[in-house]
Amino acid sequence: MDGSATERRDARLDLRSGGWALLLGLVLAAGAVALLLARARAGSAADAIALEPCLVPRDLLVKATSPEALPPLVDPALLGPDEAQATRLPQHGKYLVPDDRVVGVALGGEACAYPVRVLQWHEVVTHTLGGAPIAVTYAALTDSARAFDRRVDGEALDLAASGFVWSSNPLLFDRRPPAPDGARPSSLWSQLQGRAVAGPAAARGLSLTPVPCVLTTWSSWRAAHPTTRVIGPDPSRADRYRKDPYNAYAGSEVLRFPVAPLPPADAGLPHKAPTVVVGPPGRRVVYPLAWLVRAAGDAGVWRTSQDGVEVVFRPAADPLHAEVVLPPGRDDWEVVHAAWFAWYAQHPEDARLVDLPAAQPTPAAQPTR
């Protein structure tokens, strides 16, 4: 037997006698190193968060958790509507059913749905839709959905949940590593307002550009956008998506973190009442969803004139939600879904509650996730 054959035989014997274990160990070690590097990257960015200047009361700025607890969903797989409905989660049934709430975004000729049951485990989804880098966000503590263009000063931010909350609403941060000279510390951005509230971006008065989004049901969104796509699940967290860690919180009036100012008691609404806020900045009106359901009655539609503009609401009670239709040309108007206390705390000067009749609706249960 020549030397090369002997070497091959010895190699095979080495693999059988423990070489495979060694090889597997090396692979696992490499994976662990990659994971540690990824966490170090996120950690280095989080460690560089600047809290000065701070444009909000510091006693309302709370470190609730670590950024790693709610990792963003980055460039998720996109599923067709039939594929999304056929997808199943391990031991937890269907990924998406008609009554599931979704955040819907239509941009640049493309439409995409973001299931709330997925968003509440990530809070932020970042990808490109219609040619624009966007962030779609949902905060379960304030039942608020917002979408933003991530471009600021010609750069696309890599947004994620920072672990900080302000008046119970999550603050976002830029995960990109700080510059070597420390010239780019990360700022904190309000999920509900879309503006920087702490750090150098706050000092410059920077804000994210809102992207219109709706908080509706999967069946309604698909009917309006038949070719929509749906974000796919993160395989590493798919076993969590059928669980609702906020169920007890949504069913009570207890707030987990300091909030100020709170709505006046004579407003007649529970703090966590789901609302939809409509109008241009400075002239917005807050509509409680339970009230809209009562006002719409069996017709399922309610119309009103706001600042001379016809606004059409299509509310539904199970799950509690409302779609809002504005006439064309109202690009300066926004439609924002949020809990009553959350909107009031961050916009007390722009929180005009719709004139409720004496027999206002009985507060409805919190929306089903």
Amino acid occupying residue 45: A
More confident residue, 147 or 39: 147
Q: How many CB atoms lie within 10 A of CB 79?
A: 21
Verify that 134 and 208 share a domain, yes or no: yes
Give a yes or no: residue 297 inside a domain. Answer: yes
Write down the residue that tokens 């951005």 correspond to: 189
Instruction: Indicate the residue type of 35.
Output: L
Q: Is the pLDDT of residue 117 over 80?
A: yes
* Same domain (yes/no): 196, 80: yes
DSSP bridge pairs for 179: none
Q: What is the DSSP letter of 249?
A: H
> What's the token pair of residue 146?
């917002």
What confidence score (pLDDT) does residue 268 get?
Answer: 86
The yes-or-no verdict on residue 124 having pLDDT over 60 is: yes
Confidence of residue 140 (pLDDT cuts 50, 70, 90): very high
Lowest-pLDDT range, 312-316, 319-323, 355-359? 355-359
Q: Each residue of 48-60: pLDDT tens digit?
A: 788 999 999 999 9
Range of the domain at 271: 263-353
Instruction: Please report the pLDDT score of residue 46 as a whole number.
Output: 62
Place of tokens 């059928």: 242
The predicted pLDDT at position 180 comes to: 67
- Give me the pLDDT at residue 184, please: 61
The answer on pLDDT for 32 being more than 50 is: no
- What is the predicted pLDDT for the residue at 13? 33
| Of 151, 209, 193, nearest in space to 331 by CA | 209
| CA separation for the pair 142, 363 (Å, rounded) | 17
pLDDT score of 88 more than 60: yes
Looking at the fold, whether 282 and 189 belong to one and the same domain comes out as no
Task: Report long-range pairs for 158-161 (Cβ below 8 Å, ≥24 apart).
Answer: 158/74, 158/126, 159/72, 159/124, 159/126, 159/135, 159/189, 160/42, 160/67, 160/70, 160/71, 160/72, 160/123, 160/124, 160/126, 161/67, 161/69, 161/70, 161/72, 161/122, 161/123, 161/124
Residue scoring higher pLDDT (270 or 33) = 270
Residue-level pLDDT at 4: 46
Is position 40 within any domain? Answer: no
Does residue 362 register a pLDDT over 60? Answer: no
Is the pLDDT score of 42 beyond 60? Answer: no
The fraction of the chain above a pLDDT of 70, given in percent, is: 81
Q: State whether 170 and 267 are in the same domain.
A: no
pLDDT at 177: 77
* Closest to 166 in 3D by CA, of 273, 310, 57: 57
Residue 98 lies in a domain: yes
Residue 208: pLDDT over 60: yes
The pTM of the full predicted model, rounded to 2 decimals, is 0.84
Pairing of strands 61-63, 352-353: unpaired
Q: Which of 24-33, 186-195, 255-264, 315-324 has the lowest mean pLDDT?
A: 24-33
111 and 190 fall within a common domain: yes
**Same domain assignment for residues 88 and 225:** yes
Contact 108, 130 (CB under 8 A): yes
Q: Which of 26-30, 129-133, 183-187 has the highest mean pLDDT?
A: 129-133
Q: Are residues 133 and 223 in the same domain?
A: yes
Q: If DSSP codes are grouped into helix, strand and coil, which group holds residue 40?
A: helix
In a domain, 71, yes or no: yes
Instruction: Say yes or no: 227 and 270 in one domain.
Output: no
- The answer as to whether 16 is a domain residue is no
The pLDDT value given to residue 47: 64
Task: Summarize the confidence of residues 72-88 as an average pLDDT.
Answer: 97
Beta carbons of 216 and 116 less than 8 angstroms apart: no
**What is the greatest pairwise CA distance in the chain?**
100
pLDDT, residue 26, reads 35
| pLDDT band for position 181 (cuts 50, 70, 90) | low
Considering the domain architecture, whether residues 97 and 157 belong to the same structural domain is answered as yes
- Please say whether the beta carbons of 289 and 272 come within 8 A: no
Mean pLDDT check: name the lowest of 93-97, 159-163, 178-182, 288-292. Answer: 178-182
Same structural domain, 62 and 181: yes
Mean confidence (pLDDT) of the chain = 86
- pLDDT at residue 229 greater than cutoff 70: yes
Which among 179, 211, 231 is the end of a domain? 231
Taking residues 64-88, what's their average pLDDT? 95
Number of domains in the chain: 2
DSSP helix/strand/coil, 361: coil
Considering the domain boundaries, does residue 153 fall inside one? yes
Q: Are residues 77 and 187 in the same domain?
A: yes
Q: How many Å apart are CA 282 and CA 347, to the nearest integer?
A: 9
In terms of domains, do 137 and 217 share one? yes
Q: Among 206, 228, 209, which Cα is nearest to 217's?
A: 228
187 inside domain: yes
Q: Specify the pairing of strand 93-94 against strand 88-89.
A: antiparallel
Any domain includes 184: yes
